[in-house]
Chains A and B, each alone.
Chain A
Amino acid sequence: MEELSLHIIDLVENSLSAGSDFINVLIEEDTNKDFILIIVEDNGRGMGPEEIKNVDDPFYTTKKKKVGVGIPFLKELSQLCEGNFTIESKKGEGTKVSLHLKRSCIDAPPMGDIKNTIFTLIASTEYCDLRFFYKKDGNDFEIDTREIRKILGDIPLSNPEVLRFLKAYIEEKFKKIGGMT
């Protein structure tokens, strides 16, 4: 997958599949300090020590995996890009996956369409709450479905009126922080 934002979706989907009802995503890019940090933290079913060990070892997976996807890829990428990759998890409590990379690394995929990634995930996550905190070169933007749902009640986030609002809202915030639009 040629964009880091697609890998972010992948990590969020792992958290959803683990039955989480809240996922906290932190994305930080810094041009001067030359790093990218991605953290996805959830309150899903978690993993025991054995499971964690198996997950980031590509030879342990039972399924046939395409190269360039999933957790083993992110781990390899962090090694290629002078960064690090960690999974902290506790059975029954949740999981925190962190990826740290040197931003200028030639092997690092570009961040890609992070604005639309945040918009589509926020608008289509029905049973789980999602918070995104995106920071670029010192400016940040935050959106949290818990706050949105508090105001909206039972109205789905994919209601057309709500979609129009969310799209404009996210667009405006991105302009403000000078992110990709």
Chain B
Amino acid sequence: MKLEELRQIREKVEKQMRLREGQARIKIIVGMGTSGIAAGAREVLKTFLEEVEKRNLTEVIVTQTGEKGLSSKEPIVIVKEQEKPDIVYGSVTPDIAKRIVAEHIVNGNPVSDYVIEIGA
């Protein structure tokens, strides 16, 4: 495999993006400070990437932050959606990550049992 193969992917994705212009973008941020990592944040991050891939979620960005002091309920996950308040999840496991994708990202219903904060 060569990185050059990404050029075709770019063309394909750009075409798709033009068709979907104006659609909301959702950002999933996984907290990866020391205590987050120790509590299993890497597996959670990996699960989100797998779900995005499996479900072909082109409007979702998965990213991470090393900022600390967010919560004692690690691993934490923040879902940011345009024109909606940020939703912060605590004590997230790979299984809960799957639920967040299925129920919140795809169907628009936050998984309320694990929401620890609703931001501005």
- Please list the residues of chain A having a beta carbon within 8 angstroms of any beta carbon in chain B: 1, 6, 9-10, 12-14, 16-17, 66, 68-70, 113, 116-117, 119-120, 123-126, 147-148, 151-153, 155-156, 158-165, 167-169, 172
Contact = CB atoms under 8 A, between A and B. Distances in A.
B45 interface: yes
Nearest to B69: A63
Interface in B37-59: 37-38, 42, 45-46, 49, 52-53, 55-58
B6 A9 contact: no
B53 A160 contact: yes
Listed residue (A16, A17, A116, A158) with the most chain B CB atoms within 10 angstroms of its CB: A158
Interface of B: 1, 3-7, 9-10, 12-14, 17, 30, 32-35, 37-38, 42, 45-46, 49, 52-53, 55-58, 60-68
A147 B71 CA distance: 35
A160 B37 contact: no
B42 A120 contact: yes
A159 B58 contact: yes
A17 B33 CA distance: 9
A147 B100 CA distance: 32
Nearest to B64: A124
A161 B62 contact: no
Contacts of A159: 9, 13, 58
B59 to A, nearest CB: 10
Given A124-B64, A148-B3, A156-B61, A13 B45 contact: no
Contact of B66 (A13, A120, A153, A165): A13
